[in-house]
């Protein structure tokens, strides 16, 4: 029976560490502030944004919420982002994705100052990560590294396989595992023999968006399996990309959904906000 990696518990530890840090900073007269922009009312985005605001309140980060109507133009959104770039008291800027189809997401992300890019989506942040320079790292893959480290999983020298090559998870995940000296393979929809590759993994990260696709036949005995999926099963119940019940007998460790990777994303966002404030003060 696999060890269950408890993302809820580990994310709570990180938030508590950050809460202590913001408390100390407040005594030194330093506050931390995140601006969160949501355009339209995509129900999933509303839940995510609500969770981010709640986490800010817990950790001691001020949050400024900008809830803009669906009809907001690209120019109006860009103007707001530029204003927030200039605002001294704002440390981090987060534009919740997806944006309505009439707005070019890339253009909006590029408008965010890299110094306030707490999502780590700006091309400069991604470029810095790829050449080992300082910059903000996308929160979900950064959270997965924390999950592994805080669960005592060694990455150095290990065979790491990622299924999925998105800009937000797969690609930065590959770079982070590489930075930790893992041997990294990225699989995707054109990989010819997926199982042959995933069965080599000591650490398998699955981010494909297909409910319960990865069962025990995809994994090696004792592998660490990280499930980034947020899907619904045939009964409408929340589940991951990994068939948890099938994998748990064979894996060495596995993350559940919910309560695995999900809570880590927000904890790392909070971490990036505190980092942004520290960097601004030259601390
Ligand atoms: N939409 C889904 N996940 C994310 C995220 O991590 N950041 C932003 N900005 N939008 C998202």
Pocket of ligand 1 (CB under 6 A): 94-97, 119, 139, 265
Q: Is residue 5 assigned to a domain?
A: no
Candidate of 35, 48, 81, 268 to mutate for ligand 1, largest count of ligand atoms within 8 Å of Cβ: 48
Of 115, 130, 158, the residue at which a domain comes to its end is 115
Q: For 233-264, b where at least 16 C-beta lie within 10 A, e where not — what string?
A: eeeeeebbbbbbebbbebbbbbbbbeebbbbb
Active site residue 119: yes
Predicted TM-score (pTM) of the model is: 0.96
Judge if 151 and 221 occupy the same domain.
Answer: yes
What are the strands of the beta sheet with 33-39, ordered from one edge? 62-68, 33-39, 92-95
Q: Is residue 123 assigned to a domain?
A: no
Judge if 102 and 40 occupy the same domain.
Answer: yes
The total number of structural domains in the chain stands at 2
DSSP 185-225: EEE-TT-TTHHHHHTT-SEEEE-S--TT-B-GGGS-TT-EE
Residues of the chain with pLDDT below 50 are none
The CATH number of residue 48's host domain is: 3.40.50.10860
Q: Is residue 9 assigned to a domain?
A: no
Of 47, 81, 115, the residue at which a domain comes to its end is 115
The CATH number of residue 217's host domain is: 3.40.50.720
Write down the pLDDT at residue 72: 98
Write down the pLDDT at residue 133: 96
Write down the pLDDT at residue 280: 93
Question: Which token pair is 138?
Answer: 């996308």
| Close Cβ partners of 64 (under 8 Å, ≥ 6 residues apart) | 33, 34, 35, 36, 90
Write down the pLDDT at residue 154: 98
Judge if 150 and 108 occupy the same domain.
Answer: no
Q: Is residue 282 assigned to a domain?
A: no
Q: Is residue 277 assigned to a domain?
A: no
pLDDT tens per residue, range 250-268: 999 999 999 999 999 999 9
Q: Is residue 268 assigned to a domain?
A: no
Q: Is residue 21 assigned to a domain?
A: no
Write down the pLDDT at residue 283: 81
Q: Is residue 127 assigned to a domain?
A: no
Judge if 41 and 78 occupy the same domain.
Answer: yes
Judge if 111 and 37 occupy the same domain.
Answer: yes
Q: Which of 52, 158, 248, 250 is catalytic?
A: 52
Judge if 102 and 144 occupy the same domain.
Answer: no
Question: Which token pair is 207?
Answer: 């981010």
Judge if 231 and 164 occupy the same domain.
Answer: yes
Judge if 144 and 181 occupy the same domain.
Answer: yes
Give the domain extent around 143.
139-262
Judge if 61 and 174 occupy the same domain.
Answer: no
């Amino acid at each position: 029976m696999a060890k269950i990696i408890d993302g809820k518990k580990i994310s709570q530890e990180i938030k508590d560490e950050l809460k202590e840090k913001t408390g100390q900073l407040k005594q030194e007269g330093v506050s931390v502030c995140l601006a969160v922009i949501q355009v339209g009312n995509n129900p999933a985005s509303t839940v995510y944004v609500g969770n981010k605001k709640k986490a800010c309140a817990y950790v001691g980060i001020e949050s400024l919420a900008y809830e803009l109507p669906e009809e907001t133009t690209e120019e109006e959104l860009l103007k707001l982002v530029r204003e927030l770039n200039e605002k001294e008291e704002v440390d981090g800027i987060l534009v919740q994705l997806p944006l309505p189809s009439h707005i070019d997401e890339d253009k909006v992300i590029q408008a965010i100052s890299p110094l306030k890019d707490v999502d780590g989506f700006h091309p400069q942040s991604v470029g810095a990560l790829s050449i080992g320079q300082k910059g903000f790292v996308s929160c979900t893959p950064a959270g997965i590294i924390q999950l592994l480290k805080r669960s005592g999983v060694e990455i150095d020298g290990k065979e790491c396989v990622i299924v999925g090559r998105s800009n937000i998870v797969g690609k930065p995940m590959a770079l982070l595992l590489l930075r930790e000296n893992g041997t990294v393979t990225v699989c995707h929809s054109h990989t010819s023999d997926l199982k042959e590759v995933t069965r080599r993994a000591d650490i398998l990260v699955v981010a494909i968006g297909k409910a319960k696709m990865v069962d025990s036949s995809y994994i090696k005995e004792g592998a660490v399996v990280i499930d980034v999926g947020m899907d619904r099963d045939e009964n409408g119940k929340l589940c991951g990309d990994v068939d948890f019940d099938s994998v748990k007998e064979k894996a060495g460790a596995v993350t559940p959904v919910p309560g695995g990777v999900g809570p880590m994303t927000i904890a790392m966002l909070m971490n990036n906000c505190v980092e942004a404030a520290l960097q601004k003060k030259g601390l």
